[in-house]
Amino acid sequence: MALLTKDQITRADDRRWEDVPVPEWGGEVRIMGMSGTDRNAYQASLVMMGPNGKPSGVRLEDQTAKLVARCLVDGDFKRLYTDKEIRALGAKNGGVLERLADVAKRLSGLGDKAVEDAAGNSETGPSAGSTSA
């Protein structure tokens, strides 16, 4: 397989999305996987910093609504909820939000370990060696 160029990588349409039935709301919603930048911002929003400037824990308040808000989009792939509207989304049925969050995590490549990593709570495993010219 040939190596990709920067232009080929930039032009690649690699964002995945899925329409999810939500009978509790009377229809379907579209969940789109986060970009790398969005995913990092979401993870950073969960980290509590200590007085020494190092991560001291995980902020769980509205974590599910934060995730869903970043991934819930309209037919033109524009976010339905801004960061300022997260509380309104968080007031919805927790079971529905959890179901949508599971889809958002899968499409965004997020797992529980990713949140721990963002907070600095996981041990560093062995890394693969690399060679460069």
- Listed by start position, the domains of the chain span 29-118
Q: At 126, is the pLDDT very low, low, confident or very high (cuts 50, 70, 90)?
A: very low
The pLDDT of 28-41, averaged and rounded, is 95
Quick one: pLDDT band at residue 128, thresholds 50, 70, 90? very low
What local confidence, expressed as pLDDT, does residue 124 receive?
40
| pTM, full prediction | 0.76
Q: What is the mean pLDDT of residues 62-66?
A: 94
Question: Helix, strand, coil % (nearest 5) of the chain?
Answer: 45, 15, 40
Neighbours of 1 (CB within 10 A): 3
**29-118: CATH superfamily:** Phage tail assembly chaperone gp13-like (3.30.2220.20)
Over 80: is that where the pLDDT of 119 sits? Answer: no
